[in-house]
Amino acid sequence: MTTPLTLTPDRRPDGTSRLTVSGEIDMSNVGSLADALDGGSGPLVLDLTAVEYLDSAGLNVLFAHVDRLELVVTPLLEPVLTVSGLADLVPVHGPGAGADGRPWP
């Protein structure tokens, strides 16, 4: 059974937009993620630390927004991002600190 996709937008104290995603991202629900990413502008931290599965449909949505994304992931997703080439196009780091070294609130 698929784990439902949950999207939680918020802002860091410095005003940086963040979208926390949990569950599984696949063809059945990728439209919700696409709508959330299409609905904003400017830099966005996409926290994928609670994502258990990411398929090619999800990757395609992320590729469409490489110009504005910073990804926070666990080791589970790192190979997918590396093999797909996405890790070469956007900042990717583990939980706990942003790419700029500042801790997450």
Q: Is the pLDDT of residue 104 over 80?
A: no
59-90 residue pLDDT tens: 999 999 999 999 999 999 999 999 999 999 99
Q: Where are the domains of the chain?
A: 6-93
Radius of gyration of the chain from its Cα atoms, rounded to whole angstroms? 13
Burial of 27 (0-12, 13-18, 19+ CB in 10 A): exposed
The whole-number pLDDT of residue 105 equals 47
11-68 residue pLDDT tens: 878 788 999 999 999 999 999 999 999 988 889 999 999 999 999 999 999 999 999 9
This prediction's pTM: 0.87
Residues near 81 by beta carbon (within 8 Å), at least 6 away in sequence: 71, 73, 87, 92
The whole-number pLDDT of residue 100 equals 54
**Does 6-93 carry CATH code 3.40.50.1220?**
no
